[in-house]
Amino acid sequence: MALQSKQIFVNLPVKDLNKSIDFFTAIGYEFNPQFTDQKAACMVIGENIFAMLLVEEFFQTFTKKELTDATRSTEVIVALSADSRAQVDEIVNKAFAAGATPAKDPVDHGFMYGWSFQDLDGHLWEFLHMDQGAVPQE
């Protein structure tokens, strides 16, 4: 039997929690106040998908490893689906307006379109739309 998770919580260290909350609010996300305080914020990505934005010092209490400077190296790319190509563009453009920096130019594979950015702490976020009907059949 395959292991099946019910929810996903992506934990990300941030330098300034309030700036991060403002940034992600500007691109359309909401936060669960029940799990948000001065050390952490629970960003609601989907029904069962959350990003926990943790102040670096608090994040450090969960690991013995050194934190990575996401502006200089990459450990993960958070990839999220969008309902359309237009929605991909809308989200990424909102991110740029809120202070994000480009990660890569838009990529169009015909059946899949994606665009990515770096958030205020350098974490990579990619939004993509896939047209299931146009996926090449092998």
Q: How far apart are CA 54 and CA 57, in angstroms?
A: 8
Whether residue 135 has pLDDT greater than 80: no
- What pLDDT digit, counting tens, does each position of 2-61 carry? 767 789 999 999 999 999 999 999 999 999 999 999 999 999 999 999 999 999 999 999
H or E element in which residue 80 lies:
strand 77-81
Same domain for 75 and 55: no
Whether residue 136 has pLDDT greater than 70: no
State whether residue 123 is helix, strand or coil. coil
Q: What pLDDT, on the 0 to 100 scale, is given for residue 132?
A: 73
Domain that holds residue 48: 6-61
Contact 14/20 with Cβ under 8 angstroms?
Answer: yes
Q: What is the pTM of this model?
A: 0.87
- Domain-embedded: residue 115: yes
Same domain for 107 and 77: yes
Retrieve residue 18's tokens: 């309030």
- What pLDDT digit, counting tens, does each position of 83-102 carry? 999 999 999 999 999 999 99
Contacts of 65 (CB under 8 A, 6+ apart): none
Number of domain units in the chain: 2
Same domain for 83 and 51: no
